[in-house]
Amino acid sequence: MELYELNLWMLIEGLKSGKFSAPEVFDSCKKRIDKCEGNIHALITRTDDKTPDFSTEGTFAGIPTILKDNLCTKGIRTTAASKILGNWKPPYDATAWTRLKDSGAVLMGKSNMDEFAMGNTCGNSAFGPTHNPNDITRVPGGSSGGSAAAVSAGYVPFSLGSDTGGSIRQPASFCGVYGLKPTYGMVSRYGLISYGSSLDQIGPFARTVRDLQLVMSVISGHDPMDSSSFRDKAHDFTYRENVSVKGKRVAVVKEFAGFTLDAPISDAMKRTLKILEDEGAIITEVSLPVVSKYAVACYYALAMSEAHTNLERYDGVRLGYTVKDAVGIKEMFERVRSYGFGAEVKARIIAGTCLTEPSRCEEYYVAATKVRTLIAQEFSRAFEGTDYILQPVTPSLPEKIGESDDDAMKGYEADLYTLPVNLAGLPGLSFFTGYAGNIPVGLQLIGPRWSDSELLDAGIILERHLGGPKIANGGIN
């Protein structure tokens, strides 16, 4: 077995025991990237051009990783997959990366994504689309598709992405890896380029649930630089062999029962419920009528309004791309933003501008904030009688690259399964269930706020029964 094929916890144990060295791990991962990147295009920027200093001690000493390109890295190009940021090099690090770097992690590169995290195919990038490493004719999911594809193909044992409405869970499902969208506030957002500030959350991808626990033990915790990060919650992400779901109540959503699912996803739901029942869990049902009727409209009203506000700062004056021959400030703004933003980003900015206009704000944006409260309350009531909710990540397997261009509504329909989690600030675990041919099939388990560690414990049990993913071939025969 090549070193790049080892999971995170295996690499940590091997490095500590001296079975192999950090330079050997680095070299193995670098060769894997060299071999597959031409087919997958998971990265925007590579930082593996020279051997790093491996002298740092810590939990992840010598472990390679990749960050989504909306996480700031001091002195390293950070683009959010947009032309408007050009070759911007941040003057500071995102807190999540600071904590990984302080623990000894080695950065291999910055991953491709949908521009400013707006999309679900990893095709809305100024740098071109990323391909699913299990089948390079298909999408890897978005917006964190590059981070998921990199882990799936064996570039690194883990990576970081961000999830605003499913952007970790969907690509994890499509690429056949595990992905955790933590409770809002569990991981600092400092240094994350914002899309929707009240929805965005940084989280990890890995090939085992145990690896997710290791990453969360390093990146979670209060950060004084982020006023939304939690202060008084104690969370233990220690791996435990003897975990159990006996007596736990696992629910499916009543309103989703009649929705059409691809056969492999429907079969995976039945198989997973049987596993949980055999493990002693009580299978039940919850009703989420507000979520099922209003979550998608509520989400887009809020997300586009926040995007409109967050993206106002990109004007060609303070950072990123600019023009020097414009006649007046108005022309400069028009030219910078017309060239710098892609079509999807422009559409969401325009929609957000309309939604927050004084004459419409009360009717749309303010109304959406009230509906969001109702959605959070509905989830709270549901979790009074259940411990977890099991549901699909998407209703279908990953489509062929370009298919969504002909059916723009397809992505919005799939959002119903993921974005309510962000509206309520809940944790969601996307887990691997097997393959349909060579295409991975994933589901998600949702828990109440601050149940992240318990959610991962349940994931350990599911992984034990369902098995783990294999390294994708990356289009190499």
Interior angle at CA 43, CA 39 and CA 48, nearest 5: 105
Integer Cα distance of 91 and 120 in angstroms: 29
Query: Dihedral through CA 345, CA 313, CA 194, CA 117, nearest 10?
Result: 20
- pLDDT greater than 70 at residue 336: yes
Q: Please state, in angstroms and as integers, the Cα–Cα distance from residue 462 to each residue in 245, 273, 311, 442, 459, following that order.
A: 10, 10, 40, 12, 5
Quick one: pLDDT at residue 56?
78
CB 364 within 8 A of CB 421: no
SS3 181: strand
Confidence of residue 410 (pLDDT cuts 50, 70, 90): low
CA torsion, ordered 447, 297, 85, 322, to nearest 10 deg: -160
pLDDT band with cut points at 50, 70 and 90 for residue 412: low
DSSP category for residue 387: S
Burial of 359 (0-12, 13-18, 19+ CB in 10 A): exposed
Confidence (pLDDT) at 90? 97
- Mapping DSSP to helix (H, G, I), strand (E, B) and coil, where does residue 65 land? strand
Question: Does 143 sit behind a cis peptide bond, omega within 30 degrees of 0 on the bond before it?
Answer: yes
Summarize the confidence of residues 208-224 as an average pLDDT: 97
Percent of the chain with pLDDT over 90: 90
Write out pLDDT tens, residues 152-163: 999 999 999 999
State yes or no: pLDDT of 409 exceeds 80.
no
- Tell me which DSSP letter residue 132 carries: B
Per DSSP (E only), the strands in 22-105 are 43-46, 64-68
Q: Is the pLDDT of residue 421 over 70?
A: yes
- Angle at alpha carbon of residue 76, lines to 72 and 82, rounded to 5°: 65
Q: What pLDDT score was predicted for residue 406?
A: 60
Phi-psi category of 289—alpha, beta or left, where left has phi over 0 and alpha has psi -120 to 50? alpha
Share of the chain above pLDDT 70, in %: 97
Predicted pLDDT of residue 63: 98
Provide the pLDDT for residue 477. Answer: 62
85, 78 Cβ separation under 8 angstroms: yes
Does residue 411 have a pLDDT over 80? no
Candidates 468, 7, 459, 442; CA nearest to 243 is 459
The bridge status of strand 64-68 relative to strand 158-163 is parallel
Coarse DSSP helix, strand, coil percentages of the chain, rounded to the nearest 5 percent: 40, 15, 45
**pLDDT tens profile 12-50:** 999 999 999 999 999 999 999 999 999 999 999 999 998
Q: State pLDDT tens for residues 366-379.
A: 999 999 999 999 99
How far apart (Å, rounded) are the C-alpha atoms in residues 304 and 310? 10
Mean pLDDT value across the chain: 95
DSSP state letter for 303:
H
Q: Which residues are catalytic?
A: 68, 143, 167
What are the structural domains of the chain?
3-254+387-466 (3.90.1300.10), 302-380 (no CATH)
> Mean pLDDT throughout 444-456?
97
**DSSP letter, residue 321:** -
Q: Residue holding tokens 């809305």?
A: 124
Sheet holding 106-111, edge to edge: 43-46, 106-111, 64-68, 158-163, 201-206, 178-181, 428-436, 439-446, 388-392, 249-253, 282-286
Say what the pLDDT of residue 414 is. 80
How is residue 345 written in tokens?
A: 């980003």
For residue 236, pLDDT beyond 70: yes
In angstroms, rounded to a whole number, what is the distance separating the alpha carbons of residues 451 and 447? 6
Q: Indicate if the pLDDT at residue 408 is higher than 60.
A: no
* Model pTM above 0.85: yes
Question: What confidence tens digit (pLDDT) does each residue in 78-131 have?
Answer: 999 999 999 999 999 999 999 999 999 999 999 999 999 999 999 999 999 999
| Confidence class for position 407, pLDDT limits 50, 70, 90 | low
Q: Give the pLDDT confidence of 349-369 residue by residue, as tens digits.
A: 999 999 999 999 999 999 999
Residue in the structure block whose two tokens are 């969907």: 170
**pLDDT at res. 267:** 98
The residue assigned the tokens 């969401």 is 348
- Residues in Cβ contact with 163 at an 8 Å cutoff, skipping those fewer than 6 apart: 144, 169, 179, 181, 200, 201, 202, 203, 422, 428
